[in-house]
Amino acid sequence: MLYYFKEAWRKMAKQNIYDNEIFFEGYRKIRDNEVNANKLFEIPALFSLLPDLHGKKVLDLGCGFGEHCRCFVEAGAALVTGIDISEKMLAAAKKENSDPKISYIRMPMEEIAQLKGQFDVVVSSLAFHYVEDFAGVVKDVYNKLCEGGVFVFSQENPLCTCHSGGDRWTRDEKGNKIYVNLSNYGAEGERESVWFVDHVKKYHRTFSTIINTLIEAGFMVEKMVEPIPDKEMLKKYPEYKDLLHKPDFLLVKAKK
């Protein structure tokens, strides 16, 4: 009994904001909206970096609702393992995106060393900015990949994660955004923000720290993407002109 209590405490010691009811419902509304930055920019960029998945074993870190896991199977993956720390997310994934080739496991990504076997591809969508021990997880990803395996992840852009309070924008007298305010970029570490609820923890790292951590773990960095709207996208969705000042996302493809 004591063992199971310790295990439960250890897992909950990692930030699990997605099991907060208010946060979960707010996040779900955003993701259900067809016009959001994830669907327009982050998801297309993420999938553009993936290798051919036919016959591959795929690990999804922070799988959320499991939508990507299902897409990986549809793209030909032989086996997909989706892990997430959130019970609410996994319950939705099992209900909405189940498949015989998909296994969903409740686990913090900091503990993937416990998973059996290796994978051909490891993917993570917008989860690493919640992870304090980035270097530790990167090392574990490297060890869980087969030789020649591919690691693709997205996170909030460091120009976003460095924000530590105050207005993100300088505006003109009419309230129009002129440019983004940048401060404390070189001060890495924990940030707290208000997003649906108070005290949402994120971790800021510079571009050089992210890339050097991958290199030091043994990875070869193949490509980086910071998706921004093209002219056609701006005609259709002019509200996303903000991304020309400050891309929301950073995506990286690395190979073992």
Q: What is the pLDDT of residue 11?
A: 42
CATH number of the domain that residue 187 is part of: 3.40.50.150
Contact 122, 149 (CB under 8 A): yes
SS3 state at 156:
strand
Written as one string, the DSSP assignment of 221-244 is EEEEE-----HHHHHH-GGGGGGG
Cβ atoms < 10 Å from Cβ of 253: 20
**How many domains, in total, are found in the chain?**
1
Q: What is the per-residue pLDDT across 135-176, written as a single tens digit (0 to 9) for each?
A: 999 999 999 999 999 999 999 999 999 988 788 899 999 988
Query: By C-alpha distance, which of 86, 29, 40, 96 is closest to 63?
Result: 86
Q: What is the pLDDT of residue 15?
A: 56
Q: What's the predicted TM-score (pTM) here?
A: 0.88
Beta strands in the chain (DSSP E): 57-61, 79-84, 102-106, 119-125, 145-156, 169-171, 177-180, 189-195, 197-204, 220-225, 249-255
The CA–CA distances, whole Å, from 255 to 14, 148, 154, 193 equal 28, 6, 15, 33
Q: What is the per-residue pLDDT across 56-77, written as a single tens digit (0 to 9) for each?
A: 999 999 999 999 999 999 999 9
Residue appearing with tokens 């036919």: 54
Strands 197-204 and 220-225, bridge-based pairing? unpaired
Q: What is the pLDDT of residue 41?
A: 95
Tokens of 128: 């690493």
SS3 state at 84:
strand
Domain that holds residue 172: 2-255
Strands 249-255 and 197-204, bridge-based pairing? unpaired
CA distance 101 to 60: 13
Q: Which segments in the chain show pLDDT lower than 50? A: 1-13, 195-198
Tokens of 132: 């304090």
Cβ atoms < 10 Å from Cβ of 92: 18
Distance of CA 212 to the CA centre of its chain: 19
Q: What is the pLDDT of residue 5?
A: 36
Say which amino acid occupies 220: M
194: Cβ–Cβ under 8 A, 6 or more apart, which residues? Answer: 200
